[in-house]
Amino acid sequence: MKQLSEIIEDIKSIISNDVIYDQDVAKAIGLTQTNLAARKMRDNIPYEEIIDFCHNNDVDVDNLLYHSNRKNKIMFPDEQILAFDKIMRKIARHVAYDIGNETKMTDKVIAAALEMPYPTFATCKQRNNVPHDYIIKFCAKRGILMNEIFCGQSFGLVSK
């Protein structure tokens, strides 16, 4: 996965061919300049904002977040990013494939597959708050395209 500073530089090139600054990137992804600067210092990637930016600007999120040079870029469709329940159903499908269908897909099984503490999972579910960082790590470990999980497109495994 790329460092936040690399992602910021890539977003700059997406936004404009002219010289632009981090403050322009912050505005483009919906953060304040101060918030982006603090995140950049800690290398704390604002996943939700970057995914929204990709969705709104037809940018391939996999290419933006990873060192990926796939020739056939997959863009977000003109639809809303899926909510928690739909995303978790997609995660459950991948988990069932990994472990076989002999295990019942409970929230605890899905949380464990995401390497996410169950209380955190339960809170996210209650608030319909998608745990982007856990899902992105889950996708990266399994070679799953994030477009498939977040936007409902089905593409299978990432081609290398």
Domain count, the chain: 2
112 in a domain, yes or no?
yes
131 in a domain, yes or no?
yes
Instruction: Tell me, yes or no, whether 38 and 90 share the same domain.
Output: no
17-56 pLDDT, tens digit each? 778 899 999 999 999 999 999 999 999 999 889 988 888 8
159 in a domain, yes or no?
no
Lookup: tokens for 112: 């464990």
Q: Is the pTM of this model over 0.75?
A: no
DSSP codes joined into one string, 24-61: HHHHHHT--HHHHHHHHHHT---HHHHHHHHHHTT--H
pLDDT at res. 77? 44
Instruction: Tell me, yes or no, whether 92 and 57 share the same domain.
Output: no
Selection from 99, 133, 97 nearest residue 115 by Cα: 133
Residue 86: is its pLDDT beyond 50?
yes
109-156 pLDDT, tens digit each? 889 989 999 999 988 888 778 888 888 888 888 888 877 787 655 444
Of the two residues 158 and 22, the one the predictor is more confident about is 22
Instruction: Tell me, yes or no, whether 46 and 103 share the same domain.
Output: no
Once rounded to an integer, what is the mean pLDDT over residues 73-86?
Answer: 54
pLDDT at res. 158? 41
pLDDT at res. 29? 94
pLDDT at res. 102? 58
Instruction: Tell me, yes or no, whether 57 and 17 share the same domain.
Output: yes
Question: What is the domain range of residue 144?
Answer: 84-151
Instruction: Tell me, yes or no, whether 115 and 59 share the same domain.
Output: no
Instruction: Tell me, yes or no, whether 57 and 90 share the same domain.
Output: no
Once rounded to an integer, what is the mean pLDDT over residues 51-74?
Answer: 72
Query: CA quadruple 134, 98, 109, 127: dihedral positive or negative?
Result: positive
